[in-house]
Amino acid sequence: MDSSAVIRQRQRDQWDAVAASMPDFSSAPSTAYYRRREIALLERAAGPLKGKRVLKLDLWNEAINTRILEWVANAGADAYGMDVSHVVSHRAKDNSRRENFDVSIARADIRQIPFRSDSFDVVYTMGTIEHIDEYKDTLREIHRVLRVGGTAVIGVPNFWDPFLRPALVAVMEMLGKYPYAPEKSFTRSELKRDVENAGLAVTQMTGILLLPGVLRMLDLFLHVRRRWAAKSTEWFIKPFDAAEERFSWLDRFGYLVTAVATKRR
Ligand SMILES: C[S@@+](CC[C@H](N)C(=O)[O-])C[C@H]1O[C@@H](n2cnc3c(N)ncnc32)[C@H](O)[C@@H]1O
């Protein structure tokens, strides 16, 4: 194996190990909030999905988190998801069988998307590409598999998160306590520039998840370790959810900055 193959193998092993030890967060209050914000974003950015082919990069949400491809499939789309991890893909597949949602699953690396050019109406990625150095290759791959006139929705950590999530992540990374490391964060202008350099035309810069990252972490901790206290977290999530729903200009303060883009040629 050459050195890049060794690195990739190590990255796959890391995600397998992380996913194998991770409980299912799908019923945590902050996950329900995350799902509502993802749905609102996709409805705004991509319009009705009925009859569309939709690809999502990574299956973490289907394995452990918001099950957003379930919503996509139930909206009448042909839902496709891909992930490099065996464990994540298997957990996603098991959940799709048990929870009865129809999603086609590929185990593959987002640096080389295993689908034909011009074959998707929508490509969605949220919190994935920032984990690889070669994320610009992935942006070019998104451009390649998207049909002309299709929509790409690309979300990554917000460098200017007002609640300093990138700083929190950096400290946890330094202490060796951040399971998703490495994780790059982006300014809006950096993300816009990178997406445009991949050949896509950015139509909107937006974002989701006003909730402070530390509250998301607390909610997940309580959900797993202190089940009796977990219900109470709904109360601190509600104001963030309501504000995000009501005031669209707050989108720039979300901890995931997002580019909505289209393919012109
Ligand atoms: C932090 S999790 C994703 C979080 C999720 N999107 C969310 O919103 O909660 C990262 C996911 O990306 C996958 N992944 C990481 N590197 C990848 C790669 N090079 N190709 C495909 N999937 C990858 C991991 O296996 C994992 O499922």
User: Per residue in 102-114, pLDDT tens?
Assistant: 999 999 999 999 9
Percent of the chain with pLDDT over 70: 100
pTM of the prediction?
0.96
Q: Are 218 and 28 in contact (CB under 8 A)?
A: no
Question: What's the CA-to-centroid distance between 11 and ligand 1, angstroms?
Answer: 10
Cβ-in-10-Å burial (0-12, 13-18, 19+) of 228 comes to exposed
Coil, helix or strand at residue 237: helix
List the residue whose alpha carbon is closest to atom 24 of ligand 1.
15
Burial (CB count within 10 angstroms: exposed 0-12, middle 13-18, buried 19+), residue 178: middle
Domain boundaries, the chain: 3-262
User: How would residue 3 be classed by pLDDT, with cut points 50, 70 and 90?
Assistant: confident
For residue 230, pLDDT beyond 80 = no
Cβ atoms within 10 A of the Cβ of 179, count?
13
Residues 6+ apart with CB under 8 A from 90: none
Q: How far is the CA of 59 from the centre of ligand 1 (A)?
A: 7
* CA of 59, closest atom in ligand 1: 27
Give the residue whose CA is nearest to atom 20 of ligand 1.
Answer: 109
Provide the edge-to-edge strand list for the sheet that holds 146-157.
Answer: 103-107, 78-83, 53-57, 120-126, 146-157, 256-262, 201-208
* CATH classification number, 3-262, choose in 1.10.10.10, 3.30.1490.100, 3.30.70.360, 3.40.50.150: 3.40.50.150
Which DSSP string corresponds to 163-206? T-HHHHHHHHHHTT--TT-S---B-HHHHHHHHHHTTPEEEEEE
Select from 7, 33, 58 the residue to mutate for testing ligand 1; criterion: most ligand atoms less than 8 Å from CB: 58
